[in-house]
Chains A and B, each alone.
Chain A
Amino acid sequence: MADLADLTIAEAGRGLRAGDFTAVDLLDAVTKRATMTEAQLHAYLTLDSGGARAAAEKADADLASGDDHGPLHGIPVALKDNMVTKGVETTASSQILAGWKPPYDGTAVARLKAAGAVITGKTNLDEFAMGSSTENSAFGPSRNPWDHTRVPGGSSGGSAATVSVGSAFGSFGSDTGGSIRQPAALCGVVGMKPTYGMVSRYGLIAFASSLDQIGPFSRTVEDSALLLDAVAGWDRMDSTSIDGDVPAFSGSLSKGVEGLRIGLVTELMGEGIDPQVKAAVTAMADKLAGAGAEVIEVGLPASEYALSAYYLIAPAEASANLARFDGVRYGHRTEHLEGTTEDMMAMSRAEGFGPEVIRRILLGTYALSAGYYDAFYGQAQRVRTLMRNDFASAYEQVDVLISPTSPTTAFPVGERAADPIAMYYSDVCTIPSNLAGDPAISVPVGLDDQRLPIGFQIMAPALGEEVMYQVAAEVERLAGFTDRAPLATSEVVHP
């Protein structure tokens, strides 16, 4: 039998119920995989061995007594470290929160626990999810499983990497401007951002509140839907969560694309897109047409402005969201306490935040300050309206939109670290969906000539998860992408 760590969630669930193995066996398999890969990848910040063990044992006991919590029962799942977990250190990869043990579980975390999932630990990210490479972590960068000299993407790079190498069966991240889809593309896994409001943000450490969404990483589209099913739906603790019935997304996967209208976004196939990425996307568009879809080119003119608008809106919201980190109630407090509380706050913040976070706080503070609000923040919010209008027109012509997920495949560690603007460009294809609040998914469709994965993005209108998954499942089938990241070779650390 193959290594248990390589099973999909769906397969693992069948095996568990058939009695082929136990939840503890699954946990042991991913733990072993973590032991093999962590020294190179640094995908995890915290492995909660004790908590995971207890949860796996309980899952086995429950199943034995006929108490089946559903598809995630006994499945090891990793969480981005900006998702608040009761009693388990939660840092958002920031020194300012180092050591913080929250007194509560976020809603998505609580729902995963209720669904029987076994939480393996907390994964690395760019500090406060600000970045596209997981290099901006206060606790050191993560690496790409396909090439350890390259970044896994970000900000949810750790969550993408765990699923890629099998140190978790599935994982969750957060996507503000592409932070799930871009690392999924760079790590060769499926990464999905739901409709804004589909998953409660309660217990997600906020970056940009009007853009943030929690979503799953998985090895297959089916697993993605299973993971989303477990956390989706209205939450009384999040005023912006969508109030209404949520269908089971895992039920809409095998319908094919016959008769569907699919739009390839012209502006997202332009100059900045790597030719190999472009070729892979075009090839998949042709295959979709071959499978019976009507594929046309569609324009989203405002997407040319989306990146600039995003880099005003997100820092503005972040500047207020991160104001609460002040050394008063939790987290880092400076040791220089000779002055007033005001001094203490300013020093604690300067010491506790990393450079990218400080840069964005300053940018957002400036964009909101008197005299500049309308030129920057106000104008960005109007661009957002234009973006939504563009999507609305596009969805009058087509059912879903397609594009590359990332303009390039994984780039070398350090390449963009000193050039914020080059780094920001990594999100050019993913940001429009965040501005519109629409769902989007990245599905791996192949490798470039350096054996680096290429991600294919499918975007759908708000609450269009079903048709999005329907197309994603077909893309997955047509791509036949079965490659896995090479597991660490000669440097294997013995268990």
Chain B
Amino acid sequence: MSIDSVTPLNAGGWEAVIGLETHVELSTASKMFCGCRADIPEEPNTACCPVCLALPGALPVPNEQAIEGIVRIGTALGCEINETSLFYRKNYFYPDLPKNYQISQYTFPVAEHGALEIDVEGEPFTVGITRVHMEEDTGKSTHVGDGGGRIHDASHTLLDFNRAGVPLVEIVTEPDIRTPEQARAYGAELQRVVLALGVSDAKLEAGSMRFDANVSVRRPGEEFGTRTETKNVNSLRSLQRAVAFEIERQIAVLESGGTIVQETRHWNEDTGKTSSMRTKEESEDYRYFQDPDLLPLSVDETWRLRAVEALPELPGAARTRFRDAGVDPVNAETLLDNPALAALFTDAVAAGAPGRLVANWLTGEVIAQLRRDEVDVSDTSLSSSHLVELASMVDGGDLSSSAAKDVLTRAMAGEGTPRAIAEANDLLQVSDTGAIEEVVEQVLVDNPDALEKVRSGDMKPLGFLTGQVMRQMGGKADPKVVQQVLRAKTQGE
């Protein structure tokens, strides 16, 4: 495979093989198979009904909007959407799983065979998508007792089923990923795709988007090594760290003559390590079979075409557009992660503002200000027309770039339009050549020594003279114009 030839190898010539499984909770109004609210209220067991509690006699009825959501995700990931897909029962006993089976998919998922193009520090990389399938979330267990919430030391457990039955989409990649950086970039790009589609809030810290990382190592060209599955990865940074740790751990085990055990491992954010979860007595046998309570899903051609037409601009296309507008790669990624800023950018550029400059403001002063005030851009008064006006003032020499930043923060604070702010605060730059000429002439008269030097070919005092002019003009002169005038006056006469 051509991938191998460009694959970065780890110390000792080991190659990592990584596949990611991502669970995304859809932000529908109601749960996957019942009408309880899907936004998981804090008060335990207040969003529960016979269906999501698995009371005897209750039956699941699929939420059409959730199916629409997964079709959108599958379409955005370039998957084939199966005309017919099937719900299965995945049978295993666990106290947070009310039916003691999870409704999921097995053969014939909603979508399969897609790909996601990602950007790893400026380099494009493609991750194959094996499948995208629909399932339901479990309830939440709280372990109570001496162990401070740790399962092994708990005396008993409390169960809250508010989350049980929330629609969950699982996205499984091919084992295409080779580095922790790629894993992270994939996670970030997938999150952006899901956010762009508006089907989930995709909050890693809140668990509405979660990663499981399958990691193995091998010598290039060899068969895949034994893999481990690492769970409890709840940030992009943890994803990168957990994968990196697991690669190093496996290499160390193998190089010391050991073997890798196929197991589930738990990422501990505090220690920065993965650890083996207590293994069950025997391997799981999920006894998948088609759920007789649910009919086959049929996504016909009309629906599939509608999903394609309804796709918003995806992050890959947006990245290209930003870069084509002159935005540097780092700022382009920042815009991709800030849809509200990206929207301002898009509108400003459409109205003729220079992309690079606007992007610099948005990803610089604007973000810094938002972070300081802990607000969203929509909470401020900043509009795209402000950006357009500001850019044209800088471009026209009415405002220095440092003054522009000041005006920008004032515009965010609602002090008015940039021009009004600049005028009110006396920040407008003087680029009227006549006014500048007057001051320049006076400065030259006051500094005959400097003038003499320049005239005799020593250009050093030019900077000093410029500074004098700027000082006398209270910093509001356009320095470019000042220099032009100085040159003309010293050379020409």
Asked if A84 and B57 make an inter-chain contact with CB atoms under 8 angstroms apart, the answer reads yes
Asked if B289 and A373 make an inter-chain contact with CB atoms under 8 angstroms apart, the answer reads yes
Distance in Å from the Cβ of A221 to the closest Cβ of chain B?
29
A288 at the interface (CB under 8 A from B): no
Stretch among A60-68, A180-188, A235-243 lining the B interface: A235-243
B220 at the interface (CB under 8 A from A): no
With contacts A92-B56, A324-B54, A328-B159 taken as known, whether A238 is within 8 angstroms of B61 at the C-beta atoms is: yes
Asked if B55 and A104 make an inter-chain contact with CB atoms under 8 angstroms apart, the answer reads yes
* Dominant secondary structure at the B interface: loop
Asked if B59 and A202 make an inter-chain contact with CB atoms under 8 angstroms apart, the answer reads yes
B125 at the interface (CB under 8 A from A): no
Neighbouring A residues of B101 by C-beta, 8 Å? 320, 323
Neighbouring A residues of B99 by C-beta, 8 Å? 320, 323-324
Q: Which of A103, A316, A323 has the most CB of B within 10 A?
A: A323
Q: Which of A97, A204, A326 has the most CB of B within 10 A?
A: A326
Asked if A328 and B95 make an inter-chain contact with CB atoms under 8 angstroms apart, the answer reads yes
Bound: A206/B89 CA distance, A: 15
A494 at the interface (CB under 8 A from B): no
Bound: A193/B100 CA distance, A: 30
A301 at the interface (CB under 8 A from B): no
Stretch among A157-165, A364-372, A481-489 lining the B interface: A364-372
With contacts A239-B62, A323-B100 taken as known, whether A103 is within 8 angstroms of B55 at the C-beta atoms is: yes
A8 at the interface (CB under 8 A from B): no
Distance in Å from the Cβ of A63 to the closest Cβ of chain B?
31
A209 at the interface (CB under 8 A from B): yes
Asked if A106 and B55 make an inter-chain contact with CB atoms under 8 angstroms apart, the answer reads no
The range of chain B's interface size is 20 to 34
Nearest neighbor of A90 in chain B, beta-carbon distance? B56
Nearest neighbor of A371 in chain B, beta-carbon distance? B285
Distance in Å from the Cβ of B393 to the closest Cβ of chain A?
60
With contacts A202-B57, A323-B101, A368-B289 taken as known, whether A240 is within 8 angstroms of B93 at the C-beta atoms is: no
Distance in Å from the Cβ of B2 to the closest Cβ of chain A?
36
Stretch among B257-265, B290-298, B320-328 lining the A interface: B290-298
Asked if B285 and A100 make an inter-chain contact with CB atoms under 8 angstroms apart, the answer reads no
B215 at the interface (CB under 8 A from A): no
With contacts A324-B99, A342-B93 taken as known, whether A97 is within 8 angstroms of B56 at the C-beta atoms is: yes
Asked if B91 and A237 make an inter-chain contact with CB atoms under 8 angstroms apart, the answer reads no
Bound: A101/B432 CA distance, A: 89
B372 at the interface (CB under 8 A from A): no
Bound: A106/B95 CA distance, A: 25
Neighbouring A residues of B58 by C-beta, 8 Å? 202-203
Neighbouring A residues of B233 by C-beta, 8 Å? none
Bound: A323/B288 CA distance, A: 14
Contact bitstring A58-96, B, C-beta under 8 A = 1, else 0: 000000000000000000000000111000001010000
B287 at the interface (CB under 8 A from A): yes
Asked if A341 and B56 make an inter-chain contact with CB atoms under 8 angstroms apart, the answer reads no
A332 at the interface (CB under 8 A from B): no
Asked if A239 and B294 make an inter-chain contact with CB atoms under 8 angstroms apart, the answer reads yes
Partner of B287, one of A83, A92, A365: A365
Bound: A239/B293 CA distance, A: 7
Bound: A97/B292 CA distance, A: 23
With contacts A209-B293, A323-B99 taken as known, whether A239 is within 8 angstroms of B59 at the C-beta atoms is: yes
Distance in Å from the Cβ of A347 to the closest Cβ of chain B?
13
Taking CB atoms and an 8 Å cut-off, the chain A residues in 231-287 that contact chain B are 236-240
Neighbouring A residues of B157 by C-beta, 8 Å? 341
Bound: A330/B99 CA distance, A: 12
Asked if A326 and B289 make an inter-chain contact with CB atoms under 8 angstroms apart, the answer reads no
B316 at the interface (CB under 8 A from A): no
Asked if A324 and B98 make an inter-chain contact with CB atoms under 8 angstroms apart, the answer reads yes
Asked if A100 and B59 make an inter-chain contact with CB atoms under 8 angstroms apart, the answer reads no
Neighbouring B residues of A106 by C-beta, 8 Å? 57
A377 at the interface (CB under 8 A from B): yes
Bound: A236/B58 CA distance, A: 12
Distance in Å from the Cβ of B203 to the closest Cβ of chain A?
29
Asked if A210 and B61 make an inter-chain contact with CB atoms under 8 angstroms apart, the answer reads no
Bound: A463/B157 CA distance, A: 49
Distance in Å from the Cβ of B274 to the closest Cβ of chain A?
24
Neighbouring A residues of B95 by C-beta, 8 Å? 326, 328, 341, 345
Asked if B285 and A370 make an inter-chain contact with CB atoms under 8 angstroms apart, the answer reads yes
B73 at the interface (CB under 8 A from A): no
Bound: A329/B157 CA distance, A: 13
Partner of B56, one of A102, A240, A365, A373: A102
Neighbouring A residues of B288 by C-beta, 8 Å? 368
With contacts A84-B56, A323-B100, A324-B100 taken as known, whether A209 is within 8 angstroms of B289 at the C-beta atoms is: no
Taking CB atoms and an 8 Å cut-off, the chain A residues in 344-376 that contact chain B are 345, 365, 368-370, 373
A201 at the interface (CB under 8 A from B): yes
Distance in Å from the Cβ of B101 to the closest Cβ of chain A?
5
B50 at the interface (CB under 8 A from A): yes
Partner of B292, one of A202, A205, A209, A342: A209
B175 at the interface (CB under 8 A from A): no
Bound: A193/B30 CA distance, A: 34
A317 at the interface (CB under 8 A from B): yes
Bound: A205/B54 CA distance, A: 11
Bound: A392/B378 CA distance, A: 64
Asked if B56 and A320 make an inter-chain contact with CB atoms under 8 angstroms apart, the answer reads no
With contacts A205-B57, A324-B99 taken as known, whether A239 is within 8 angstroms of B292 at the C-beta atoms is: no
Distance in Å from the Cβ of A182 to the closest Cβ of chain B?
22
Distance in Å from the Cβ of B26 to the closest Cβ of chain A?
19
Bound: A202/B397 CA distance, A: 74
Asked if B61 and A100 make an inter-chain contact with CB atoms under 8 angstroms apart, the answer reads no
Asked if B61 and A236 make an inter-chain contact with CB atoms under 8 angstroms apart, the answer reads yes
Taking CB atoms and an 8 Å cut-off, the chain A residues in 108-145 that contact chain B are none
Neighbouring A residues of B50 by C-beta, 8 Å? 102-104
Asked if A320 and B55 make an inter-chain contact with CB atoms under 8 angstroms apart, the answer reads no
Partner of A240, one of B54, B159, B287, B295: B295
Neighbouring A residues of B159 by C-beta, 8 Å? 328
Asked if B100 and A239 make an inter-chain contact with CB atoms under 8 angstroms apart, the answer reads no
Nearest neighbor of B156 in chain A, beta-carbon distance? A341
B53 at the interface (CB under 8 A from A): yes
Neighbouring A residues of B225 by C-beta, 8 Å? none
Partner of A326, one of B93, B285, B294: B93
Neighbouring A residues of B93 by C-beta, 8 Å? 323, 326, 342, 345
Neighbouring A residues of B57 by C-beta, 8 Å? 82-84, 102, 106, 201-206
Asked if B59 and A201 make an inter-chain contact with CB atoms under 8 angstroms apart, the answer reads yes
Nearest neighbor of B101 in chain A, beta-carbon distance? A320
Bound: A237/B294 CA distance, A: 11
Neighbouring A residues of B285 by C-beta, 8 Å? 369-370
Distance in Å from the Cβ of A370 to the closest Cβ of chain B?
5
Nearest neighbor of B284 in chain A, beta-carbon distance? A370
Neighbouring B residues of A369 by C-beta, 8 Å? 285, 287
Bound: A342/B96 CA distance, A: 12
Bound: A202/B62 CA distance, A: 14
With contacts A205-B57, A239-B62, A342-B93 taken as known, whether A368 is within 8 angstroms of B287 at the C-beta atoms is: yes
Selected A-B contacts with CB under 8 Å, 23 pairs: A90-B56, A92-B56, A102-B57, A103-B55, A104-B50, A202-B58, A205-B56, A205-B57, A208-B292, A238-B59, A240-B293, A240-B295, A316-B289, A319-B91, A320-B89, A324-B54, A326-B93, A328-B159, A341-B95, A342-B93, A345-B95, A368-B289, A369-B285
6 A-B pairs with the lowest CB-CB distances in the bound complex, closest first: A323-B100, A210-B292, A368-B287, A209-B292, A84-B57, A203-B57
Identify the A interface with B (CB < 8 A). 82-84, 90, 92, 97, 100, 102-104, 106, 201-206, 208-210, 236-240, 316-317, 319-320, 323-326, 328-330, 341-342, 345, 365, 368-370, 373, 377
Name 19 extra pairs, CB < 8 A, besides A104-B55, A209-B291.
A84-B57, A97-B56, A202-B58, A204-B57, A206-B59, A209-B293, A239-B293, A323-B99, A323-B101, A324-B99, A324-B100, A325-B56, A326-B95, A329-B54, A329-B98, A341-B95, A341-B157, A342-B93, A369-B285
